[in-house]
Structure 1
């Protein structure tokens, strides 16, 4: 990381992107979707088309938002009820003009802003959200519920819609055109954060389901600052243009955005240098080149002339998954030992060239509640690792070997250097490890089935709260809990933490959950990553948030 951009800066409700100099602060002044009450009196002056690099997305509309590339596009096509302003650290209303909840945090009421429009000119109402949310959950939308419908799992009636027994999401009602009421199956004090996720954006009633699903998926009708220009061409590009009827904030400065799809960051970065791209992901091996050739952003997130390389920390944790039901990794001491044996700093220095930092907490540094050193077994201590293995019944023999052998599963498309480094670290303890490269679909199925021992995983946050890590990754029965960890005490602690009304007290309760699970080590945090994106010399200003969301309605190209 750039020394001017400390990686341990926390996102809170009160502060974000601290430490910027005056030039960067000026570039950050106009908040995306933050002044929705002001609206737009007219279209902004034409500002050219910005070319933004993505890899092939799972989709570009709410039903299909399964990766960061998909979300980057949809975030600019759609607006949700609320918006987390990464610059101020505040959760603000967006399509909702206000929201409230009852004393037990299990009934939420959103007042919809009147006069907001979809790209086809139809009005956004409370029913637009009810329809969109039911569309996510229904098996009739595209032969199955959306893979990201779990965002609504806490809403009353969710299971019935997913099962296909009804099309009505019972917990979501519309007392009038501009009131959306949501009843949850249990108290959840952070539900308004969930409502900021692009996956929960509204859809015009009747669109994007059944026979109309395919056409909508290729050219969705949203309500965000940009609208589709033609159809998404899979593997090539997504073209958008400014929506001049946008009223949830200032109309975009750009004429449009060309999302250019490249298979790899190496090719994209070359295109950036050739002038064919305005923003590219930077491959690990080009990090130093990007810093020296383009200059480093002052705050890590905003590109300005001469300071175009973005190195701010992301809402991301890379980790190892341990199958806690596997005979080898069932004992927590074995999991602790395997983690302690990994020299994370050496991997970050040698392989990531400073674009990653060793993780010492499962919660990334950009999440409020992160605590330095919270996961003590994420330190590097091979001597202690050996002692733990001895205690667990795996003492070294006279030749230094231990009776431990397993396959380490990783995606065949991933770079292997860091995993080979871990393989060497484990070999120092007398552990024989084979790297098993498989395609992602097969690897993920093995995680779900519990037919693996140790594997590579990573988690990008859907919304910037600790619960988005602690619930899906550790709570009993969650699909993303691929360790198959199940602990009634932990579940009860998290249920209680989710219902704590006071924000600061809720953060403390989440930290207690994090500390509890850290001892049991169902996962081993490995590293936190930087954005590692770079803007071209053609860009006047461009911000990408820690959630990898490009604020393209604020972006400007040089005149």
Structure 2
């Protein structure tokens, strides 16, 4: 029996509170997911100052890398572990960390060499076995790791996912030396080296595999910070500088303590009171106040989040692309951002976030607010008489006002009434999407697990994609994504993905609405605070104590 489809890290973001920034998980654990590493590609140079830094955190789900698909756990994991690659803060380009080299001739078989002399915090060697054991653990279905789906590109994954399977090792992993191993994928995937930047691909110490529960409480990593004590649930997670870190970007501070909060307001109050040095995310309703109180210590940056209204294309009402196009053009996104979302977002003009390499600015014709054109299209469609537009979202996550604003925009432009549908809690809402039970457009959101167009296209819009629930399918789109995956270079892949996105622009299987923005504030106790948009966090290794 095949296991049910795992909710991916980015799909989990669909449950996040939209009025918090993408980096902040919601209190019900539906925040966005894990990050890439935090210890490479520094944008600012600083010297070791020592000292203590305190930052806020919501309660993580877990601290096991292969099980971490939300932001709070990812924040800690990316400080405690180092992966094969990271991303340059300025350019987003791949930077090798633990990897000495990653080579391929066909984008399907990848030869990985690990740097010599690297260790875990407990003295174990970081070698080929460390990655092979971690990936096998993450891919094995009975281990029920939330990040298991990241390994589905590797040969042998499906066999390991069968319930009760006696296959416990990926067929596509082969150790070729103490510091070398080969990865064979099911098919060519040019973006694989980029995907390796996600925390699911971190190494695992043998001591962690021997006692996963203990390692979840006090992880044994190989990154610039190590645990200074066990995770005290709902209280704090204490880290300290690892003196023997062999990476190029060692921590500038002695200790980094994540104080755990149930809500952002309390964390903000503690920042004001001097009980916190860094507030990772400022709630939109407090941003004006934070800008005034911390004028030189307030950072506001774009994130990779995109919020959409997805169409249930299994409902014939939405089969005509002109219906979808008209509804999209009937929405004044900027007006909603200014009046409801407190300026914390940007209007979406593409299906891909602007921070992603290959983003095409302003290419979505039907993302523009154009009431005249919307009405021209609407006059050409056969919308059932007296049918109300059903707008679905889950309750208790701050979506009510902006979804209602969308409905009002459509009603004022096209003259059709709408009904808000938020009767299903998050889990039931997801099940209804998977079971094709939505009766109208539904709120959906996405955030990168690694910086690639592919991650915005393939899971959401290819036929049988891992998070595809609209019922939309297009052979040409699927072909172009496959060709992008198999392209000889990333540049050629970007061109093919861009061509695939043009099909989305015309077909509009969902309405791109908003791009996310995140903000951080910090006290005058610290300096050299550099924001890493690829992690939606400050760079913890760069920060200094005054």
Q: Which TM-score band (shorter chain)?
A: 0.7 to 0.9
Show the counterpart of 1:216.
Answer: 215
The Cα offsets for residues 470-499 of structure 1, whole Å up to 9 and x where unpaired, read as 111112212322323222221111000111
Distance in 2, Cα, partners of 1:116 & 1:421 = 54
Aligned length: 498
Show the counterpart of 2:170.
Answer: 169
Aligned with residue 83 of structure 2, among 80, 83, 97? 80
Distance in 2, Cα, partners of 1:481 & 1:76 = 32
The answer to whether the aligner puts 1:524 opposite 2:523 as a matched pair is no
Distance in 2, Cα, partners of 1:231 & 1:364 = 37
Contact (CA 8 Å) 2:448, 2:455: kept in 1 or not? yes
Contact (CA 8 Å) 2:307, 2:512: kept in 1 or not? yes
Show the counterpart of 1:19.
Answer: none
Report the CA distance shift for 1:458/1:234 in structure 2 as closer, same or farther (over 3 A): farther
Displacement of 1:500 in angstroms is 1.3
The answer to whether the aligner puts 1:430 opposite 2:432 as a matched pair is no
Aligned with residue 486 of structure 1, among 473, 476, 479? 473
Show the counterpart of 1:160.
Answer: 159
The Cα offsets for residues 23-63 of structure 1, whole Å up to 9 and x where unpaired, read as xxxxxxxx94359xxxxxxxx85622211222222222212
Show the counterpart of 2:195.
Answer: 194
Distance in 2, Cα, partners of 1:461 & 1:71 = 13
Distance in 1, Cα, partners of 2:466 & 2:491 = 29
Greater shift in the superposed pair: 166-175 or 501-510:
501-510
Show the counterpart of 1:125.
Answer: 127
Aligned with residue 110 of structure 2, among 108, 111, 121? 108
Displacement of 1:366 in angstroms is 0.7
Distance in 1, Cα, partners of 2:362 & 2:90 = 26
Distance in 2, Cα, partners of 1:456 & 1:231 = 38
Distance in 2, Cα, partners of 1:318 & 1:405 = 19
Displacement of 1:94 in angstroms is 0.6
Displacement of 1:206 in angstroms is 5.7
Report the CA distance shift for 1:407/1:510 in structure 2 as closer, same or farther (over 3 A): closer
Displacement of 1:464 in angstroms is 0.9
Show the counterpart of 2:425.
Answer: 439
Contact (CA 8 Å) 1:75, 1:549: kept in 2 or not? no
Report the CA distance shift for 1:524/1:254 in structure 2 as closer, same or farther (over 3 A): same
Distance in 1, Cα, partners of 2:49 & 2:545 = 10
Displacement of 1:85 in angstroms is 1.0
Contact (CA 8 Å) 1:282, 1:534: kept in 2 or not? yes
Q: Structure 1 stretches of 5 or more lacking a match? A: 1-30, 36-43, 296-305
Distance in 2, Cα, partners of 1:337 & 1:347 = 18
Instruction: Note the 1:358-507 alignment, pairs <5 A.
Output: 358-394=347-383, 402-428=386-412, 429-452=415-438, 453-507=440-494
Contact (CA 8 Å) 1:51, 1:278: kept in 2 or not? yes
Show the counterpart of 1:69.
Answer: 72
Instruction: Note the 1:34-45 alignment, pairs <5 A.
Output: 34=41
Secondary structure, counterpart of 1:473 in structure 2: helix
Contact (CA 8 Å) 1:232, 1:239: kept in 2 or not? yes
Show the counterpart of 1:248.
Answer: 247
Show the counterpart of 2:272.
Answer: 273
The Cα offsets for residues 511-542 of structure 1, whole Å up to 9 and x where unpaired, read as 11111122111211111122222122222122
Distance in 1, Cα, partners of 2:416 & 2:313 = 21
Show the counterpart of 2:34.
Answer: none
Show the counterpart of 2:339.
Answer: 350
Distance in 1, Cα, partners of 2:146 & 2:389 = 34
More contact order relative to length (CA 8 Å, sep ≥ 6): 2
Displacement of 1:236 in angstroms is 2.9
Distance in 1, Cα, partners of 2:137 & 2:39 = 27
Displacement of 1:282 in angstroms is 0.9
Show the counterpart of 1:552.
Answer: 540
Report the CA distance shift for 1:235/1:478 in structure 2 as closer, same or farther (over 3 A): farther
Contact (CA 8 Å) 1:80, 1:196: kept in 2 or not? yes
| TM-score normalised according to structure 1 size | 0.85
Show the counterpart of 2:61.
Answer: 58
Displacement of 1:501 in angstroms is 1.6
Secondary structure, counterpart of 1:528 in structure 2: strand
Distance in 2, Cα, partners of 1:206 & 1:481 = 38
Show the counterpart of 1:26.
Answer: none
Distance in 2, Cα, partners of 1:173 & 1:254 = 39
Greater shift in the superposed pair: 314-323 or 55-64:
55-64
The Cα offsets for residues 437-486 of structure 1, whole Å up to 9 and x where unpaired, read as 54322222222222213221211101111111111111221232232322
| TM-score normalised according to structure 2 size | 0.87
Distance in 1, Cα, partners of 2:427 & 2:166 = 29
Displacement of 1:334 in angstroms is 2.3
Distance in 1, Cα, partners of 2:54 & 2:317 = 49
